[in-house]
């Protein structure tokens, strides 16, 4: 009998080990996959650059004073330097994975620093910059130097010439600054909408509402809403908020405001429930203490109960932000999928998660950049989680 008991115990224990190892393996596989694909592209430039590359056509005017700066230290094997022009190119891949030639160094006295922008004649301080991608150098007397021949060929061609007709270059592009800013906007605006409404609704439900069937129905409706798939909210956003914003603002289609409102609605039940939970755990002893001191119900609620529920509300907020960052289905409808660099709250735009979606539906899919954005999202979520822990820890220290 006891042997059988032992075997059953072992079986149950084994099951828990098995289940937890599967969970751990699944999680680590996601992390490893995302980091392996995404970590190459991850750098500061990615976070602050525009997504759409800017094209420049430039030529050089007047008497050219050539550079006298020798090759700088630290040039790698795939980098080539022209003494005369004071510029170094390298063969590399851009963020879309295409082979390109990139400017890695420009000497102080390089004539390339003072070019004439053909598209904007009035600009007088114009030049090529480090990090730009060179797509062509055209000469009067010979064939153009193009990226397919490589950086070495291009630098040799340039070095051999005293002048060129035109240089075509672009900014690096592929950056996600726009998507990051949109995400921040969406976070701010949807919280601005859902946090006050959610918190006050929870306060009403938990502190003021009569304890009757109507209140309970309201509460279960909130609960049901928590389980509704976000794509349904997305449809609602498309049907309600997009037309509304188009009508009353300068927006012409899905925009940041309609997206934020949609997300705000998704967050409402989440915030209401989390706030209610944290209000419930405020001990009645504190409510009684306050009432016995002649404070009225409202004073008790806002001066004693609410402050005590704040850490819970904070946690709810951070979780809500996590939800915003991760949401894509609803936003595809309500904001649109256009990756933008100039963000306007009435304009189309895209958050990081939707950006991933767009990259993966491109032909061909850009897995690398998508994974990099995934890494950025993971890092943000990680930082949020740590902040939640820190806040609740600090709070506990203060009041226990």
The answer to the question of residue 393 lying near another protein (CB under 8 A) is no
Question: Of all helices (H) and strands (E), which one includes residue 127?
Answer: none
Which of 201, 262, 308, 328 forms a contact with another protein (CB under 8 A)?
A: 308
The answer to the question of residue 291 lying near another protein (CB under 8 A) is yes
Question: Of all helices (H) and strands (E), which one includes residue 88?
Answer: strand 87-93
The answer to the question of residue 62 lying near another protein (CB under 8 A) is no
Q: Give min distance, CB of 283 to another protein, in A.
A: 8
Closer Cβ to another protein, 74 or 210, answer by number: 210
Within 327-366, residue ranges assigned H as helices are 329-334, 352-361
Site string for another protein, 185-204 (x = CB under 8 A): --------------------
Closer Cβ to another protein, 151 or 205, answer by number: 205
Closer Cβ to another protein, 76 or 400, answer by number: 400
CB atoms within 10 A of CB 193: 18
The answer to whether 373 touches 304, Cβ cutoff 8 Å, is: no
Q: Which residues on adjacent β-strands are paired with residue 170?
A: 55, 133
Closer Cβ to another protein, 62 or 294, answer by number: 294
The answer to whether 312 touches 277, Cβ cutoff 8 Å, is: yes
In the structure encoding, which two tokens stand for residue 304, read together? 């004693």
**Angle, helix 213-226 to helix 256-280, in steps of 10 degrees:** 130
Which of 77, 108, 140, 400 forms a contact with another protein (CB under 8 A)?
A: 400
Site string for another protein, 250-289 (x = CB under 8 A): ---------------------------------x-xxxxx
The answer to the question of residue 4 lying near another protein (CB under 8 A) is no
**Of how many residues is the chain composed?**
400
Which of 299, 382, 390, 393 forms a contact with another protein (CB under 8 A)?
A: 299
Closer Cβ to another protein, 258 or 315, answer by number: 315
Q: What distance in Å separates the CA atoms of residue 190 and residue 324, rounded to the nearest whole number? A: 8
Closer Cβ to another protein, 304 or 374, answer by number: 304
The answer to the question of residue 11 lying near another protein (CB under 8 A) is no
Q: Please identify, among the stretches 25-33, 82-90, 217-225, 302-310, the one whose residues bind another protein according to the rule CB under 8 A.
A: 302-310
State how far Cα 221 lies from the chain centre: 32
- For the chain, the distance separating the N- and C-terminal CA atoms, rounded to the nearest angstrom, is 48
Strand, helix or coil for residue 324: helix
Q: Give min distance, CB of 268 to another protein, in A.
A: 28
Question: Of all helices (H) and strands (E), which one includes residue 167?
Answer: strand 166-170
Which of 4, 296, 363, 364 forms a contact with another protein (CB under 8 A)?
A: 296
Residue 364: cis peptide before it, omega within 30 degrees of 0: yes
Q: Give min distance, CB of 276 to another protein, in A.
A: 19
Q: What distance in Å separates the CA atoms of residue 184 and residue 207, rounded to the nearest whole number? A: 33
Within 74-130, residue ranges assigned H as helices are none
The answer to the question of residue 211 lying near another protein (CB under 8 A) is yes
Closer Cβ to another protein, 63 or 296, answer by number: 296
Closer Cβ to another protein, 145 or 304, answer by number: 304
The answer to the question of residue 42 lying near another protein (CB under 8 A) is no
The answer to the question of residue 294 lying near another protein (CB under 8 A) is yes
| Rg of the chain over all Cα atoms, to the nearest angstrom | 29
The answer to the question of residue 292 lying near another protein (CB under 8 A) is yes
Q: What distance in Å separates the CA atoms of residue 135 and residue 147, rounded to the nearest whole number? A: 6
Q: Give min distance, CB of 208 to another protein, in A.
A: 14
Closer Cβ to another protein, 4 or 398, answer by number: 398
Q: What distance in Å separates the CA atoms of residue 348 and residue 344, rounded to the nearest whole number? A: 8
Closer Cβ to another protein, 214 or 293, answer by number: 293
- Helices (H), strands (E): how many in the chain? 14, 7
Q: Which residues on adjacent β-strands are paired with residue 116?
A: 59
Write out the residues near another protein by the rule CB under 8 A: 211, 283, 285-296, 299, 303-304, 307-308, 398-400
């Amino acid at each position: 009998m006891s042997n059988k008991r032992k075997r059953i115990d072992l079986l149950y224990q084994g099951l828990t080990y098995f289940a937890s190892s599967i969970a751990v393996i699944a999680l680590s596989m996601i992390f490893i996959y995302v980091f392996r694909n995404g970590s190459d592209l991850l750098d500061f430039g990615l976070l602050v650059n525009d997504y759409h590359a800017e094209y420049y056509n430039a030529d050089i005017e007047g008497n050219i004073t050539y550079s006298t700066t020798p090759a700088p230290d630290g040039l790698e094997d795939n980098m080539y330097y022209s003494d005369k022009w004071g510029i170094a190119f390298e063969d590399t891949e851009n963020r879309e994975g295409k082979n390109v030639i990139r400017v890695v160094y420009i000497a102080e006295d390089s004539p390339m620093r003072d070019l004439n922008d053909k598209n904007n004649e009035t600009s007088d301080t114009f030049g090529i910059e480090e990090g730009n991608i060179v797509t062509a150098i055209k000469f009067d007397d010979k064939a153009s130097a193009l990226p397919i021949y490589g950086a070495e060929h291009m630098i040799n061609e340039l070095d051999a010439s005293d002048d060129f007709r035109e240089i075509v270059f672009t900014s690096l592009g592929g950056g996600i600054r726009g998507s990051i800013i949109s995400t921040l906007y969406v976070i701010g605006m949807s919280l601005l909408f859902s946090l006050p409404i959610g918190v006050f609704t929870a306060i009403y439900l938990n502190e003021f509402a009569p304890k009757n069937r109507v209140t309970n129905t309201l509460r279960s409706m909130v609960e049901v809403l928590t389980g509704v798939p976000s794509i349904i909210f997305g449809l609602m956003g498309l049907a309600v908020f997009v037309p509304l914003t188009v009508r009353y603002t300068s927006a012409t289609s899905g925009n940041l405001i309609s997206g934020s409102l949609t997300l705000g609605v998704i967050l409402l039940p989440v915030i209401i429930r989390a706030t209610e939970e944290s209000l419930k755990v405020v001990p009645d002893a504190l409510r009684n203490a306050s009432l016995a001191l002649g404070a009225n119900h409202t004073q008790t609620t806002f001066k004693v109960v609410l402050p005590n529920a704040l850490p819970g509300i904070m946690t709810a907020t951070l979780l809500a932000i996590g939800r915003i960052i991760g949401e894509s289905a609803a936003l595809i409808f309500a904001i649109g999928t256009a990756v933008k660099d100039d963000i306007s709250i009435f304009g189309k735009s895209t958050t990081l998660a939707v950006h991933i979606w767009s990259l993966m539906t491109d032909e061909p899919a850009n897995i690398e950049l998508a994974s990099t954005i995934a890494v950025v999202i993971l890092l943000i979520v990680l930082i949020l989680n740590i902040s939640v822990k820190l806040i609740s820890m600090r709070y506990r220290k203060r009041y226990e």
